[in-house]
Structure 1
Amino acid sequence: MKFRPLHDRVLVRRIESEEKTRGGIIIPDTAKEKPQEGEVVAVGAGARDESGKLIPLDVKAGDRILFGKWSGTEVKLDGEDLLVMKESDIMGVLEGAAASKKAA
């Protein structure tokens, strides 16, 4: 993929939630909410402060994050639905989530 976000923007791939509840009930597509968890695909160089100094972003490619329900702008790149959002729309980084997911 040849896309580089500008400034303090981040490219995010949504991580789909489970198809079943803990009790085994299958959730149909029409009842599902959009996931609020995602993986950072690419990040911009950072924002600039009042003096023009570059402030790097706190997130990096590969981080698993939580973001607001209505955050970002949906885009389609290489046939894949992705989100472009500002770093300020990100609520936090899930620590250790990527390692536990890979082990499973």
Structure 2
Amino acid sequence: MKLKPIYDKIVVKRMEEKEQKTPSGIIIPDTAKEKPQVGEVIAVGNGKVLNNGEIRPLAVNVGDKVLFNKYAGTEVELDGEKYLVMAEDEVLAIIE
């Protein structure tokens, strides 16, 4: 099954973080870490509908690495993978 977002929505997969250790060698468990705020765009909608009815193409494309705020989007699980579905305006920046 695939997710096909509509309008100005995008599907983002969070980037996996490497295992984190403190300087003294203590491994920080996943439950104590914040979720990464960087992800890869997996799918994009066809564009934002403007007030005059025109559709503006999205600024992000499939494959872009994006930075988003901590509480952006709605988390969904599909085929055992977790994704975020969010509006394009929740993206803070494209990482080049």
TM-score (normalised: structure 1) = 0.84
Q: Which runs of 5 or more residues in structure 2 are unaligned?
A: none
Q: Which has the higher helix share?
A: 1
Q: Which one-letter code corresponds to 1:94 in the other structure?
A: I
State the SS of the aligned residue for 2:34. Answer: coil
Once the two structures are TM-superposed, the CA of residue 52 in structure 1 deviates from its matched residue by: 0.8
Which residue of 1 is the match for residue 16 of structure 2? 16
Runs of 4+ in 1 over 6 A off after TM superposition: none
Q: How does 1:5-84 map to 2 (within 5 A)?
A: 5-21=5-21, 23=23, 25-84=26-85
Where does residue 3 of structure 1 map in the other structure?
3
- What's the RMSD between the two structures over aligned residues? 1.5
TM-score, normalising length from structure 2? 0.90
Distance 2:42 2:92 in 1: 17
Matched positions, count: 95
Mark the runs of 5 or more structure 1 residues left unpaired by the alignment.
Answer: 96-104
Give the share of equivalent positions with the same residue, in percent: 53
